[in-house]
Chain A
Amino acid sequence: MIDGGHVALRAPNWVGDLVMATPVLDAFAADARFERVTIVVRAHLVPLLEDAPWRERVRPVAGPREELEAYAELDPDAAVLLGNSFGAAWRAFRARVPVRAGSALNGRRWLLTHALVPPTRGGRRLPIPSAHLQRDVAGLLGVAVPDLHPRLWVRPEVERQVRAELEAAGLRAGERYVLCAPGAAFGAAKLWPPEHFAAALDRLHEAHGLRALIGGGPGEEELMDAVARASRHESLSLAAAPRDLERLKAQVKGSALVLVGDSGPRWVAAAFDVPCVTIMGPNFPELTASSLERCRVVRLEGLECAPCLERTCPLGHHRCMRDLTPERAVAAADELLAAGPGR
């Protein structure tokens, strides 16, 4: 029995997919049919959900074993799988959650009680936005998601603290900045060369007076410094500064523009309506074709090998990224900035 029951939402493991899923989390939390809603999420992603109105419903799990333990402890009536991994479905099945809803991808159809098959052509899956897929999964439990605009929350004191940290690191008072996140957790194939990032940042500084702020996740320090070194103007690398997802939210929210690869900060920018230029290489643009109101996806059309979805370029030339010129990114940024601030 779902009505009056306990629903466990298994959130995706990627930053971007988790931000995309926030409208679904919101809709479940607001649905009065459920007595209890728990959001099961990887512990390292929890700072992203800080300050959400349903924050107390978040149950962090460190890994697969803890996820199984969480199911055993929570004893939910239903598990809603908002990611597409086989492991998440397998663990819900092993935990004997009575209702298991999700996409029938990655061979997990038989593990699910309620499933959906995305559109196909010639028997092969056609790419559709992950946000659409997550909304369709919510529909399997009778939950209507009012809109797909991602949403995140950050407290004013965190914003003030982060601004103070940035100013202590060299940002001038009141100075507008472009936040650049050159890394990508997915793999090297998604990386735009640092000199391209640097050239784009230089032109944004010259044309719009935006100071370059270069951030990134753990392990991306070398890349961040490489972009800073290649830049002709005085950019600010955050490689040595404290960095986490909660700070990232405040940094994005305070920025005039976000310049990013095809990675999580793009979706943080969408949540705060901050203009964003995203550089896409080996991915299908169709998979992320939502929340495009203030986002421009810059990619090279016409390459026979793209999109390959590989983590490293299998051909070694990495043309999808190398041949993508900084001018394209700057033109997209010019268009967004001319349209005015998002907020």
Chain B
Amino acid sequence: MAYRRGSVLLAVPVLVLSLFLVGCPKRPATTAASAPPPTGSPSPAAPSTSPSGPAMTPSPAAPSTAPSSTTPPPPSEFSENANLKDVFFDFDKYDIRPGDAKILDTNAAWLKSNDNLVLIEGHCDERGTNEYNLALGERRAKSTMNYLVAQGVQASRITIISYGKERPTCTEHSEECWAKNRRAHFLVKAR
């Protein structure tokens, strides 16, 4: 609900946002960031790294007219789907547990036979600091994405978002509750 207002704004290409950025002529959003590494298919377990060096800096001459199709739809346009089950993570971990790999296999099979866009949310429990949990949730969503891609789901269909510890499903201060919150959750949107 909190994002209804934002969803309208996001219909505007991100490049418009950059007009507010004083002295910055570049388009701040790139879709390359969400894509897997340029070479080959990522392995599920290994976090991907991109090459370092000057290429990391967007060229000032980069065109500010990216195709709008590369801007991800706002999260509010995605909806729940009962066929896609959550996977869960150990405390401070973001690797896919063997039991959860089976869940992801099932999710991948469904996604391959249903041509939706998918949003993977990465979540953490309440312990820990905001900023680190945002990074941890990102890694959980990314690990999940990498696994699905390795199973043959097109990376271009997948967007990830980290909520850190900001969106718990369970609000009690117990291990049982924390375990439920350390999750990757799936939402879909028709193409």
Determine if chain A interacts with chain B: no
Residues of A within 8 A of B (CB): none
Residues of B within 8 A of A (CB): none
